[in-house]
Chain A
């Protein structure tokens, strides 16, 4: 979809793409290394900034319309008395989602990405100056609705939460393994619709997730009725506390995708040169 549209070019990272080629000695490099390396470096700075204030940052990812904003609305209603929350909204266009969050009485910052179908660390860095992190315990980043690209970009957050709504089919983890492998928690949303669907099995969806060698919790819930919300809210509350303790010990945590990123860098790519005669 985005190979020709330049979806990856955002206001935040554009400057990285058109720098003149480096002329230093050849080093062993993985292809993904360079662009994501810039992203990952910025993500690291973002994370250090969040950690300095003890803020837990959670990245919500799903296909468009799986219920990310509805989940945030329900979550804020239940938690805002006890936990200070803020939200960064990523969408291609409109302030609609940020407006929905502000209506719940918590600060929301909208990033409109234009053509870019994911957020990246530079875009997040761009809104950081507007955030009063000392007034926040928990920051949600609602990524652009997309089951492909967001999985590859570390934003400087701590946890990935991937939503799968029951109208999308229970085999999504098998179809989008890169996204679902990145999940630190998987939520099955809109379960109030299950009676109307004869072919979505929560057990099958969980089984597809397990087949990715993922042991993460799979929690079914409905933001509409509130069913299952308690388990999600408990998970969140535990994560907030765990993060405060981590930060006190000068430690932090990276989302699951980042482990893979590190692996790429640990690999020793082989570059060999075979000069061939001019034809």
Chain B
């Protein structure tokens, strides 16, 4: 879907971080990604390969860490691990659940080299 623009945004933020720390290379970028983020990890990776060329992240490795889908139940109060297409409470079967994990798209860590 809009992986290209997300990568553009990611790269912009990473570049800003590198500049702030006067680093000349970004070694690794770690992103948390959930199945309900609406973003396809493989597409994000290939979009990243397309976009990083020539910049400070030219050689960077993009590490995507998949996050689990979790819900909490408004009826029984319990939290359970769920799946993207089954968000029902695993304890009591209720459909009155709230998503507490699985829609993340978070820049978790940036590893820099050549920090001044």
Contacts and interface: CB of A to CB of B under 8 A. Distances in A.
B13 A8 contact: no
A270 interface: yes
B19 A23 contact: yes
Nearest to A146: B1
Contacts of A17: 5, 8
A213 B97 CA distance: 6
Interface residues of A, number: 60
B23 to A, nearest CB: 7
Contacts, number: 167
A3 B46 contact: yes
Given A34-B12, A275-B115, A25 B107 contact: no
* Main DSSP-derived SS at the A contact region: loop
Interface centre among B8, B19, B39, B111 (most CB of A within 10 A): B8
Contacts of B2: 2, 7-8, 35, 118, 149, 152
Q: On chain B, which size bracket covers the interface?
A: 35 or more
A173 interface: yes
A34 B5 CA distance: 10
B8 A21 contact: no
Contacts of B17: 26, 271, 273
Given A23-B16, A34-B13, A213-B88, A274 B47 contact: no
B109 A278 contact: no
A23 to B, nearest CB: 6
> Can you list the 3 inter-chain pairs with the closest CB atoms, starting with the nearest?
A8-B2, A213-B87, A3-B43
Given A35-B5, A213-B97, A271-B107, 18 more contacts: A3-B4, A3-B43, A3-B50, A7-B2, A17-B8, A23-B16, A24-B16, A30-B106, A31-B6, A31-B105, A34-B12, A152-B1, A177-B85, A208-B85, A263-B99, A264-B105, A274-B112, A275-B21
